[in-house]
Amino acid sequence: MTRVLVAVVLTAWAASTAAPAARASVVVPMSLADLTDAAPLIVDATVAEVRHVAGPDGTERLVLVRVTSTWRGEVADTAYVRLPGGRIGRVETRVPGVPSVEPGDRLVWFLTPHPRGGYAVLGLHQGALRTASSASGEVLVLAPGRGTAHNDRGRVPRRLEEVAAEIRQRLAGAGR
């Protein structure tokens, strides 16, 4: 009887101290056409605020964006984007593949409705294309090259107007 009790206690202790199950995400590379076809909302927007909050699956960031222009779908002048991961107090959760954003960052967002309200980024980082200004003041987007999947080698700086025109052309051709 004592051996059985010791075995049960040791088994319970081992189970309670075991590492949590690992989680992983599989990201299929997406071209600009893939992103355009899949996203019900496409906007050019600037990050106004980032709040770190407790969510049902851990820490998440509620990102308030100010919409400059909408290329697909309908949205108000501001919208919330939910990003997994963040920091509350001394506890930080990092989720590989999720974009890191700060107030003032301007991005082209490919979004889908989030089940708890607001929006989620399509394809993790793939649906959040960063912008930057060139030396001449032109706005550039780090976007997938024509016909290439969205990965580090396929990203090329392209003029914002060129990316917008390509998205609008694809949407017009598909009757969307």
The pTM score is 0.81
Give the residue, 167 or 156, on which the prediction is more confident: 167
The sign of the CA dihedral 109, 111, 114, 120 is: negative
Give the model's pLDDT for residue 17: 44
Average pLDDT, the chain: 84
Domains of the chain: residue spans and CATH? 27-173 (2.40.50.120)
SS3 assignment for 50-65:
EEEEEECCEEEEEEEE
Instruction: Indicate the pLDDT class of residue 24, thresholds 50, 70 and 90.
Output: low
Interval 57-114: pLDDT, tens: 889 999 999 999 999 999 999 999 999 999 999 989 999 989 999 999 999 999 999 9
Interval 63-72: pLDDT, tens: 999 999 999 9
